């Protein structure tokens, strides 16, 4: 059985989890503390420490670079999902980079404002230390103070997606491709705390999100 090693709120893990659900695959989820990557370090023979990681028997799959999709492409090939058609390769590459660099960069901050509600208490100190080492002392308090502006920024970054979805059920046509799952992961991370909803000004995106939550192959 396939095993997905993850943090539940990670947008990149949500992408792979939703692909597995879409495929109808039987899979196991192993949640690890964000402060303890020892399992990943061991499985990857000290080559990697980030989530997500997929274990399929003796095979361990993880991302080989910042802009790769090794895990998704493995699942796509294994289950013959057709999420990476060659004719859409360039478009998908541009879109997933936009989602992972522009959309995620705002969405995770809005979710992290409520980090105390979903991070285990035993992991509070290392979680906060990690964030402040990466983004500066008091970063989460700053994001909380900027919440309205961050929501405005996210809405603007999602507007092109809504415009695309005005003309098709999915981002690049009438069938979901990898970029749909990728954007879904970024959206579910933003929504993870339960304190937000997708903007009412983006009706096509809202309808797409409902489809993506329920679609099966």
Cβ atoms within 10 Å of 11's Cβ, excluding its own: 24
Q: Which domains does the chain have, with CATH numbers?
A: 2-79 (3.40.30.10), 86-214 (1.20.1050.10)
CA–CA gap between residue 130 and residue 143 (Å, rounded):
15
CA–CA gap between residue 57 and residue 34 (Å, rounded):
24
Residue 171: C-alpha distances to residues 43, 49, 137 (Å)? 35, 32, 38
- pTM summary value: 0.97
CA–CA gap between residue 97 and residue 23 (Å, rounded):
24
Residue 140: closest CA among 149, 128, 124, 154: 128
CA–CA gap between residue 46 and residue 55 (Å, rounded):
15
Q: Do the beta carbons of residue 205 and residue 198 sit within 8 Å?
A: yes
Read out DSSP for the chain?
A: -EEEEE-TT-HHHHHHHHHHHHHT--EEEEE--TT--HHHHHHTTSS--PSPEEEETTEEE--SSTT--HHHHHHHHHHT---S-GGGHHHHHHHHHHIIIIIHHHHHHHHHTTGGGTS-GGGHHHHHHHHHHHH-TTHHHHHHHTHHHHHHHHHHHHHHHHHHHTSSSBTTBSS--HHHHHHHHHHHHHHTTSS----TT-HHHHHHHHHHHH---
Question: What is the chain's pLDDT, residue by residue, as a tens digit (217 residues)?
Answer: 999 999 999 999 999 999 999 999 999 999 999 889 999 999 999 999 999 999 999 999 999 998 899 999 999 999 999 999 999 999 999 999 999 999 999 999 999 999 999 999 999 999 999 999 999 999 999 999 999 999 999 999 999 999 999 999 999 999 999 999 999 999 999 999 999 999 999 999 999 999 999 999 9
């Amino acid at each position: 059985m396939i095993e997905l090693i993850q943090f539940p709120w990670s947008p990149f893990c949500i992408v792979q989890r939703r692909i597995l659900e879409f495929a109808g695959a039987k899979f196991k989820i192993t949640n690890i503390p964000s402060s303890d990557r020892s399992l990943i370090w061991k499985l990857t023979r000290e080559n990697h420490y980030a989530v997500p990681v997929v274990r399929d028997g003796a095979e361990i799959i993880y991302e080989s670079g910042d802009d790769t999709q090794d895990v998704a492409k493995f699942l796509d090939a294994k289950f013959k999902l057709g999420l990476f058609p060659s004719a859409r390769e360039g478009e998908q590459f541009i879109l997933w980079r936009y989602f992972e660099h522009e959309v995620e960069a705002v969405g995770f901050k809005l979710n992290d404002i409520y980090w105390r509600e979903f991070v285990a208490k035993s992991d509070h100190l290392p979680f906060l230390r990690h964030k402040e080492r990466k983004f500066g002392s008091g970063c989460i308090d700053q994001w909380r103070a900027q919440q309205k502006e961050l929501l405005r920024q996210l809405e603007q970054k999602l507007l092109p997606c809504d415009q695309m979805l005005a003309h098709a059920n999915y981002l690049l046509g009438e069938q979901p491709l990898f970029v749909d799952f990728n954007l879904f992961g970024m959206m579910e991370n933003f929504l993870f705390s339960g304190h937000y909803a997708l903007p009412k000004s983006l009706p096509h995106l809202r309808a797409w999100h409902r489809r993506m939550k329920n679609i099966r192959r």
